[in-house]
């Protein structure tokens, strides 16, 4: 019997603000673009860096640091290595954080908040289990408060904070340690087939793969 539900975050509960990625690319174009790339080209560079980092995280079970991801982007935009200091990378992260808070994500669909409320009301404990990329765990926690859903989660696991990524056992270890139930009593829900579904099943959890962004609590209940 399922007692605890572990939710992935991006494209499972929330999705990016439609303007955020373009605003971030515009900032990079204005401030760090000696190569003269367009906003659309920079968005492509950022997206590719994100995909490559995600792939490395999945293969190695680690977390490519956000600063390293931005360093790669700045190199591709034509910035000299000696000009890319650690303090500059921290500054970029800070500026992007402000931008993200001004263009915050929304729910994946209108059923998300009622679903979380109902699951908690029925006695299930719930957590967030999220690989992170450019947006780190501390920023996500602030976003969850602003979306008024932080109360539903008894704990949050973010890859940048533990140095491990799904589908590694090291990531799911952290979920198991804090859930305080048996492995077979945990359902992990997520949109990434390899990281969320296969990773959770291999670890010993139950799993539900989200392949329809309009899913509802009825889809969840079929796996409880």
Same domain, residue pair 43 and 94: yes
Q: Which residues form the domain of 79?
A: 20-102
How many structural domains are present in the chain? Answer: 2
Residues 97 and 141 placed together within one structural domain of the fold = no
The answer on 111 and 97 residing in a single domain is no
Q: Which of 73, 102, 131 is the last residue of a domain?
A: 102
Q: Are residues 94 and 186 in the same domain?
A: no
Q: Is the pTM of this model over 0.75?
A: yes
9 and 119 in a single domain? The answer is yes
Q: Where is the domain boundary, 102, 126, 153?
A: 102
- Verify that 110 and 98 share a domain, yes or no: no
- Same domain for 10 and 110? yes
Write down which residue in 70, 102, 134 finishes a domain: 102
Task: Please indicate, yes or no, whether residues 44 and 91 belong to a single structural domain of this protein.
Answer: yes
**DSSP assignment of the chain:** ---EEEE--BTTTEE--TTHHHHHHHHHHHHS-TT---HHHHHHHHHHHHHHHHHHHHHHSS---HHHHHHHHHHHTT--GGG--HHHHHHHHHHHHHHHHHS--EESSTTHHHHHHHHHHTT-EEEEEE--SSS-HHHHHHHHHHTT-GGG-SEEEEHHHHT--TTSHHHHHHHHHHH-S-GGGEEEEES-IIIIIIHHHHHT-EEEE---TT--HHHHHTT-
Burial 84-105 (b: 16+ CB within 10 A, else e): beeebbeebbeebbebbeebeb
**131 plus 160 within the same structural domain:** yes
What digits encode the pLDDT tens for the residues 145-183? Answer: 999 999 999 999 999 999 999 999 999 999 999 999 999
Are residues 184 and 74 part of one domain? no
Please check whether residues 81 and 128 belong to one and the same domain.
Answer: no
pLDDT of residue 209: 98
92-149 tens-digit pLDDT: 999 999 999 999 999 999 999 999 999 999 999 999 999 999 999 999 999 999 999 9
């Amino acid at each position: 019997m399922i007692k605890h539900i572990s939710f992935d975050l991006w494209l499972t509960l929330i999705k990016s603000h439609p303007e955020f990625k373009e605003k971030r690319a515009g900032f990079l174009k204005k401030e760090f673009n000696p190569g003269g790339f367009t906003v659309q080209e920079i968005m492509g560079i950022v997206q590719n860096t994100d995909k490559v980092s995600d792939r490395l995280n999945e293969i190695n079970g680690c977390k490519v640091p956000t600063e390293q991801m931005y360093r790669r982007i700045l190199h591709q935009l034509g910035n000299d290595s000696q000009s890319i200091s650690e303090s500059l990378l921290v500054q970029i992260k800070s500026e992007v954080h402000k931008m993200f808070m001004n263009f915050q994500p929304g729910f994946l669909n209108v059923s998300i908040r009622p679903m979380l409320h109902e699951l908690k009301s029925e006695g299930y404990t719930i957590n967030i289990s999220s690989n992170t990329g450019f947006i780190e765990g501390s920023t996500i926690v602030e976003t969850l408060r602003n979306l008024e859903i932080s109360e539903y989660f008894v704990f949050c696991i973010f890859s940048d904070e533990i140095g491990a990524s799904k589908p590694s056992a090291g990531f799911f270890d952290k979920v198991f340690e804090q859930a305080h139930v048996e492995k077979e009593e945990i359902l992990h829900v997520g949109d990434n087939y390899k990281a969320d579904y296969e990773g959770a099943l291999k670890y010993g959890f139950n799993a539900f793969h989200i392949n329809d962004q309009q899913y509802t609590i009825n889809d969840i209940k079929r796996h409880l």
